[in-house]
Every structure is written in structure tokens, then in C-alpha cells.
Amino acid sequence: MPVDLADIRAAHDRIAGRVRRTPLLRDEVLSARLGVTVLMKAEHLQDTGSFKLRGASNAVLSLSADQLARGIVTASTGNHGRALAHAARLSGARAVVCLSRLVPANKLAAIRDLGAELRIIGASQDEAMAEVARAVAGEGMAPVAPFDDPAIVAGQGTLGIEIAEDAPEAEIVLVPLSGGGLAAGVALAVKALLTRARVIGITMESGAAMHASLSAGSPTLVAEQPSLADSLGGGIGLDNRVTFQICQALLDDTVLVSEAEIAAALRHLHAIGHIIEGAAAVGHAALLAGKVRPRGPVVTILSGRNIDPSLHARVIAGANGVAA
């Protein structure tokens, strides 16, 4: 494996002063309904509003002074860009974030507010990634990949260490799955520390690149579609080096949830006091829909909170998708 538990432990120490240790909360309502303990890693309370700060901080703190001086460039569906802008600012480095037109306006504004330069390129994450390659070749900037990088996987894996420490009884961990940085890191840590636990990747039905790639046996292109889980959009890269291999080896299963199931999960989580984004609700969506039926303690990861407020309001009022 390109990343191991020692790398994740080193990342945990490296980012300790810059990243919050988020609580593991109990969902009393769903625990009662399912008859098993349902725990939520409350990573929507993380600074910048998502777990992406863990990987971005680890990657930025792993760069040389020379690389920091030349600036950092990345492509992002929003949350990684915001986390990277924050981490770069703390390290005094210039950041350029390349995004597709599908990224919601609230995420663009938040990245701009952190002092990063935005470049909006095309209608897919892959086109934004091509702009990163141009900035590296033409401007000498240091690239920080959104997921397919050992430093990112190790950083996201720190969340798995915290789950294993706070819920050693966990039997299943449900991980939102897109490029697989989170799933790879969490699976590495959880499987090393809790040898009985199963780790399941959860993603949306439309445009799920890692699921399609795992089914096909190699990285596969999928068409991006608008989704309530906008943070799960984007390909895994046909030249994927790190996350595909780890997800293929360590994920016990992947489960797909519909837009209506994600919407129902957003309403359930709102009713118990949590405003989160669609990508962060997929674990709960799988439990509420009966697509995962745990027989013992289960952990979901509320991976972020950065939902467009008007979209959240429409879903709470009953909308079952991104369309009004």
C-alpha cells in the first residue's frame, strides 16, 4: 500500500495544532429505530466546514519552503479548495484553486474570502485538473491533488484513528465516497486498528466514478450529473495512482443512494439538529433506506456542512433533488 498506519499517525501529529478533533455523537432517534447504536463523526464541525482540512493541512505542512514560495495549485469540487486556501494562508503561501462551473456559488465565495485565486474552467472536474497541469508546467506552482496523493490520504485517515479511539466497538463504518481519499484513509486506519470492522463506501446513484471503476476493475470515466451530493462529483482520474488501489483492496462494499434518499437523510439530520451537505448525508441515507442493515454499532461520517442555504431550505420543505 502507498500509505500505512505509520503515515496516518505521523499526519495526526503534524496537523494536531491546525485541525479540530471532532466529537463522535450518538443519533438517538435512528439508534432506537434500528435497534443498534448509530454514531456520527461530526466532521461538519471541522474548520472550513469539512474533513478536507485534514488532508490539505497535512499536504501543505509536507511541502518545502521553496515549494511554498512558488505557490500551491489545486482542482476542487469546493471543499478541498476551501481547505487548501485556509491551510495555504496559515503557511503564508499563495493558492490558486481551479473549479468547474458545477461548483455552487457559496463554495466559490468562501474560497475567495480566504484569499485564494479562483479559476473557473469547463463543466467537469477533469477539465479543472487540466488547468492545474498548465499552472504546474507554466508557472512552476506546486500541485496538491484533491484525493490521489499519499499525503492527502494520510491526512484524511486521521479521522479513522479518531473513530477507532472513540468507538472501538464499531462494527461498520460508512464512508462517503468520491475520489476515495477519505475512504482510503479511513479504511487503512480503521482496518489496522479495529480488525473486525467493515468499511463501506457510500455514494450517489448518478455519476459515481469510484463505484463504476471498482465494478469495472480499473479507473473509468463517468459523466458528471447535478446531485444533492455535489461534493461527491468528479472522476477518479484515469491515471489514478493511490486511492483506487486502496479502495479496491480495503472497501468491503460500495452502496449507491438516490437523490430522494439523500434528501430524506438531510431532513432526518436537520430534525435532530444538524445542518449538513448532501455528500455528508449518504451514510444516513443508506441506513434510513435499509440499504445497509447493521447488526451492531455503526458509524456514519458527517463529512461536511457546506450546503447552499437556499437548497437546504428547499430540501427541508420537501424537495427530493437539486431541481426546485
Ligand X SMILES: *Cc1c(COP(=O)(O)O)cnc(C)c1O
Q: Which positions touch ligand X (CB under 6 A)?
A: 50, 52, 79, 147, 176-183, 231-232, 277, 279-280, 303-304
Which residue lies nearer to ligand X by CB, 294 or 304?
Answer: 304
Which residue lies nearer to ligand X by CB, 58 or 178?
Answer: 178
In whole angstroms, the minimum distance from the beta carbon of 70 to ligand X comes to 26
CA distances from 169 to 41, 283, 294, 306 (A): 14, 18, 13, 30
CA distances from 20 to 11, 44, 81 (A): 13, 11, 18
Which residue lies nearer to ligand X by CB, 68 or 245?
Answer: 245
In whole angstroms, the minimum distance from the beta carbon of 121 to ligand X comes to 19
Name the residue among 3, 127, 150 with its Cα closest to residue 77: 127
- Collapsing DSSP to helix, strand or coil, 139 comes out as helix
In whole angstroms, the minimum distance from the beta carbon of 213 to ligand X comes to 12
Name the residue among 14, 20, 39 with its Cα closest to residue 28: 39
Provide the residue type at 129 as one letter: M
Which residue lies nearer to ligand X by CB, 70 or 127?
Answer: 127
In whole angstroms, the minimum distance from the beta carbon of 16 to ligand X comes to 21
Name the residue among 86, 144, 78 with its Cα closest to residue 277: 78
Q: Which residues lie closer than 8 Å to 295 by C-beta, 6 or more apart?
A: 36, 171
Count how many residues are written for the chain.
324
Q: Which residue is nearest to ligand X (CB)?
A: 304
In whole angstroms, the minimum distance from the beta carbon of 132 to ligand X comes to 16
The answer to whether the beta carbons of residues 55 and 316 sit under 8 Å apart is: no
> How many Cβ atoms sit within 10 Å of the Cβ of residue 321?
18
Which residue lies nearer to ligand X by CB, 135 or 281?
Answer: 281
In whole angstroms, the minimum distance from the beta carbon of 61 to ligand X comes to 19
Which residue lies nearer to ligand X by CB, 28 or 215?
Answer: 215
